[in-house]
C-alpha cells in the first residue's frame, strides 16, 4: 500500500523539519527553496495528498481541494489568519484545519508597539533625514521632529483578540489613558479575556467596548487594526473612518492590508488629515513597487509583514504546524484547530 502523501509548501526550521522527517510512514513532498512555492507546483503535487502544510500566500480553494481529491484530510496553516482558506469548503468536505493562533501573539504585540511609537515619533522620517545627510542642516528648535506622545493617549482597537489584548498589556506600561475596542460583536465585549484585562475594575485604565467604529475613530489618538479580514471588515478604515480621526492621531495596521483602503490612507496622509501611520501589512503585498504612493508618505512607516518574525515565534509556529498536520492525519487532537 502506498504511503499517505503530505505536501509542504515551505522549508521549515530545523526542529520542525526533523519532526516532520521522522515520519517514515509518510511520503513527504516539500518545496525546497527560500522563495514561496508557486501555485502550479502546489497544484501539480497536491493530487492524492492526505495533508497540506501551507502559508498565508497559498490559497486553499475549490481548485486545490478538488485537485487533491478525496484523500485530503487536513490543511495545516503556518499562521493565525485563515483568510486564505475557504473554510466553508473545508467544512463541506470534512477536512480539518490547523493553525497557530497563540504562538505569535507576543511577537506581533511587540511589533504593534514598535509601529505605534515609530508613527508617533516619526521614526521612518527621522532615520531618512540621517541617511540623506540632512542632520547637520537641521537647526535645533523646540518643535523640531516632534510628535504626539503615547503616555496620556486613548488607544482604540478594531478587533480585540489575543494580539490586541497583549498589546494593551504592553501599552499600560506606557501610561495610556484609556482603551476602547470594537469587536465583531459590538457592545458585547471581547470574546475572551486573555489576560484578565476586561470585566471592569481590574485595571486602573478604563478598557471599554465601543458602540461603533465612529467612536473608535473619533476618540482615539492611536487606532490599531487587529481584526480579521472578512467581507464586513474590508476597507473598514476608508475615507469616512479617516475623516473622523483626530488630526494628531496615528493609524497602525498589523492585521490584514485589506482592512485599510490604501488610496484613502494616502490621501489622508497627503492632506495631513491624520498624523501618521505604521503598517506591517498593505493591500496587494508583497507587490509594493518603489513608486507606490504610500512610499512617498514621510509619516508612514511600512515594514514587510514581519509581525511574527522572531526566532522563537517562528520556531514555535513551525513546530505547531507540523504537529497539527500529523494530528489531522492520525485523527488526533491538534495543538490548535479552527472550529469549522
CB contact at 8 A, 338 and 84: no
Cell numbers describing residue 296? 512617498
Whichever of 104 and 182 has its CB closer to ligand 8YV, that residue is 104
Long-range contacts of 36-43 (CB under 8 A, 24+ apart): 36/9, 36/10, 37/9, 37/10, 41/9, 42/7, 42/9, 43/67
Cell numbers describing residue 109? 504585540
Whichever of 78 and 160 has its CB closer to ligand 8YV, that residue is 78
Is 55 an interacting residue with respect to ligand 8YV (CB under 6 A)?
yes
Going across the sheet that includes 154-158, the strands are: 207-209, 178-182, 154-158, 222-225, 250-253, 276-279, 300-302
* CA 102/CA 114 separation, integer angstroms: 20
The CA-atom distances, in angstroms, between 192 and each of 162, 164, 189 are 8, 11, 9
Question: Quick one: which of 36, 81, 189, 209 contacts ligand 8YV (CB under 6 A)?
Answer: 81
Is 31 an interacting residue with respect to ligand 8YV (CB under 6 A)?
no
The region of 27-35, 74-82, 173-181, 198-206 touching ligand 8YV under the rule CB under 6 A is 74-82
- Among the listed residues 15, 194, 292, 305, the single catalytic one is 305
Is 308 an interacting residue with respect to ligand 8YV (CB under 6 A)?
yes
Cα 255 to chain centroid distance, Å, stands at 3
- Residue 183 phi/psi, 5-degree rounding, is -115, 180
Is 56 an interacting residue with respect to ligand 8YV (CB under 6 A)?
yes
Whichever of 240 and 285 has its CB closer to ligand 8YV, that residue is 285
- The footprint of ligand 8YV on this chain (CB under 6 A) covers a number of residues equal to 10
Q: Which residue has the cell 509556529?
A: 317
Residues 6+ apart with CB under 8 A from 289: none
Build a one-symbol-per-residue string for 168-187: x at contacts with ligand 8YV by CB under 6 A, - elsewhere: --------------------
Pick out residues in 107-146 that bind ligand 8YV (CB under 6 A). none
Cα 19 to chain centroid distance, Å, stands at 26
Question: Quick one: which of 9, 307, 319, 335 contacts ligand 8YV (CB under 6 A)?
Answer: 307
Q: How far is the CB of 148 from ligand 8YV (least distance, A)?
A: 27
Whichever of 97 and 198 has its CB closer to ligand 8YV, that residue is 97
Is 78 an interacting residue with respect to ligand 8YV (CB under 6 A)?
yes
Whichever of 81 and 189 has its CB closer to ligand 8YV, that residue is 81
Nearest to 281 by CA among 322, 225, 197, 211: 225
Q: How far is the CB of 312 from ligand 8YV (least distance, A)?
A: 13
* CA 243/CA 35 separation, integer angstroms: 39
Whichever of 111 and 249 has its CB closer to ligand 8YV, that residue is 111
The region of 127-135, 175-183, 264-272, 301-309 touching ligand 8YV under the rule CB under 6 A is 301-309
Pick out residues in 86-105 that bind ligand 8YV (CB under 6 A). 104
Question: 286 preceded by cis ω (within 30°)?
Answer: yes
The reply to whether 194 belongs to the active site is no
Q: How many residues does the chain have?
A: 340
Give catalytic residues, as residue numbers.
305
Q: Which residues bind ligand 8YV (CB under 6 A)?
A: 55-56, 78-81, 104, 305, 307-308
Amino acid at each position: 500500500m502506498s504511503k499517505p502523501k503530505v505536501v509542504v509548501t515551505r522549508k521549515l526550521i530545523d526542529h520542525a523539519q526533523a519532526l516532520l522527517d521522522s515520519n517514515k510512514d509518510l511520503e513527504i513532498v516539500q518545496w525546497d527553496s527560500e522563495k514561496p512555492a508557486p501555485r502550479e507546483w502546489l497544484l501539480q503535487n497536491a493530487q492524492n495528498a492526505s495533508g497540506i502544510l501551507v502559508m498565508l500566500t497559498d490559497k486553499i480553494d475549490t481548485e486545490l481541494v478538488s485537485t487533491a481529491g478525496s484523500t485530503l484530510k487536513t490543511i495545516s496553516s503556518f499562521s493565525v489568519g485563515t483568510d486564505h482558506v475557504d473554510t466553508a469548503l473545508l467544512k463541506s468536505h470534512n477536512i480539518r484545519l490547523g493553525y497557530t493562533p497563540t504562538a505569535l501573539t507576543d511577537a506581533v504585540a511587540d511589533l504593534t508597539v514598535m509601529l505605534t511609537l515609530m508613527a508617533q515619533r516619526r521614526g521612518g522620517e527621522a532615520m531618512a533625514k540621517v541617511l540623506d545627510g540632512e542632520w547637520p542642516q537641521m537647526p535645533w528648535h523646540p518643535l523640531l521632529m516632534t510628535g504626539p506622545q503615547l503616555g496620556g493617549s486613548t488607544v482604540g482597537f478594531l478587533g480585540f483578540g489575543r494580539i490586541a489584548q497583549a498589546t494593551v498589556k504592553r501599552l499600560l506600561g506606557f501610561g495610556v489613558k484609556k482603551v476602547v475596542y470594537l469587536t465583531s460583536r459590538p457592545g458585547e465585549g471581547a470574546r475572551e479575556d486573555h489576560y484578565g484585562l476586561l470585566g471592569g475594575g481590574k485595571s486602573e485604565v478604563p478598557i471599554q467596548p465601543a458602540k461603533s467604529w465612529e467612536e473608535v475613530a473619533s476618540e482615539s489618538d492611536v487606532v490599531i487594526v487587529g481584526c480579521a479580514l472578512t467581507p464586513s471588515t474590508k476597507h473598514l478604515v476608508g475615507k469616512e473612518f479617516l475623516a473622523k480621526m483626530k488630526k494628531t492621531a496615528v493609524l497602525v495596521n498589523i492585521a490584514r492590508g485589506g482592512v485599510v483602503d490604501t488610496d484613502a490612507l494616502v490621501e489622508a496622509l497627503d492632506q495631513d488629515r491624520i498624523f501618521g501611520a505604521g503598517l506591517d501589512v498593505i493591500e496587494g503585498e508583497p507587490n509594493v513597487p518603489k513608486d507606490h504612493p504610500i512610499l512617498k508618505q514621510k509619516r508612514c512607516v511600512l515594514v514587510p509583514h514581519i509581525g511574527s518574525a522572531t526566532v522563537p515565534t517562528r520556531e514555535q509556529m513551525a513546530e505547531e504546524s507540523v504537529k497539527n498536520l500529523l494530528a489531522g492525519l492520525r485523527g488526533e487532537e491538534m495543538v490548535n484547530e479552527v472550529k469549522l
